[in-house]
């Protein structure tokens, strides 16, 4: 079951990755909401504090960076889980590519997905208090993809309030 869920999630993430590249820099004033959860891309997230970078190996081959709003950052600093209502985490992702200038370095290429987690313990009580949104080029992915989010977070990160990312020291 765990494997099936993980596989489903991986396929969903891969599909999102294959779609056209997005630009994180251009944040529209109002963005469409994700299916299932009604989560939108938060305003100004590109300026939010870095929680941690990450690398995702093949088949995605992405560099990632998770950023958080002030509520999220404060919760991380207090090492306080569950995260309080109002926590918003955004994961930016880019295809990895070799640096043209430094052979041992890998740098971001085209943007792929922007993924959002919003904590609202009442609204999202059925999914651990979290609402999810996965966006490609500013547009939410389909319902099938959004059905995979919580299952994977529940299977693998329940002990950290369903959040994979730790604050990079």
Judged by CB under 8 A, the stretch of 92-100, 119-127, 128-136, 140-148 that binds its own copies is 92-100
CB 124 within 8 A of CB 37: yes
CB 65 within 8 A of CB 46: no
Q: For the CB of residue 78, give the shortest distance to its own copies in the complex, in Å.
A: 12
Q: Which residues between 130 and 149 bind its own copies (CB under 8 A)?
A: none
Candidate residues 46, 84, 138, 161; the one interacting with its own copies per rule CB under 8 A: 46
Neighbour tally for 109: CB within 10 Å: 15
Candidate residues 39, 41, 60, 116; the one interacting with its own copies per rule CB under 8 A: 60
User: Is-cis flag, bond preceding 59, omega within 30?
Assistant: yes
Task: Report how far residue 167's alpha carbon sits from residue 68's, in angstroms, rounded to the nearest whole number.
Answer: 10
Beta carbons within 8 Å of 169's beta carbon, 6+ residues apart: none
How many residues touch its own copies (CB under 8 A)? 43
Question: Is residue 49 a contact residue for its own copies (CB under 8 A)?
Answer: yes
What 3-state class would DSSP assign to 52? strand
Judged by CB under 8 A, the stretch of 27-35, 44-52, 124-132, 136-144 that binds its own copies is 44-52
> Smallest Cα–Cα separation from 32: which of 23, 41, 24?
41
Question: Is residue 102 a contact residue for its own copies (CB under 8 A)?
Answer: yes
Footprint on this chain of its own copies (rule: CB under 8 A):
10, 21, 23-25, 46-47, 49-50, 52-58, 60, 63-65, 67, 77, 92, 94, 96, 99, 101-102, 104-108, 110-111, 156-157, 164-169
């Amino acid at each position: 079951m765990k494997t099936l869920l993980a596989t489903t999630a991986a396929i969903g993430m891969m599909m999102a990755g294959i779609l056209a590249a997005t630009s994180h820099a251009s944040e529209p004033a109002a963005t469409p909401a994700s299916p299932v959860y009604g989560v939108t891309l938060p305003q100004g997230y590109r300026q939010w504090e870095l929680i941690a970078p990450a690398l995702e190996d093949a088949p995605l081959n992405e560099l990632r960076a998770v950023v958080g709003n002030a509520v999220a950052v404060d919760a991380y600093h207090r090492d306080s889980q569950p995260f309080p209502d109002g926590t918003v985490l955004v994961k930016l992702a880019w295809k990895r590519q070799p640096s043209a200038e430094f052979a041992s370095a890998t740098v971001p290429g085209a943007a792929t997905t922007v993924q959002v987690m919003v904590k609202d313990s009442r609204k999202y009580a059925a999914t651990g208090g979290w609402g999810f949104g996965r966006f490609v080029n500013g547009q939410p992915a389909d319902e099938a993809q959004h059905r995979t989010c919580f299952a994977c977070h529940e299977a693998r990160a329940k002990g950290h309030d369903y959040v994979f990312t730790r604050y990079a020291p």
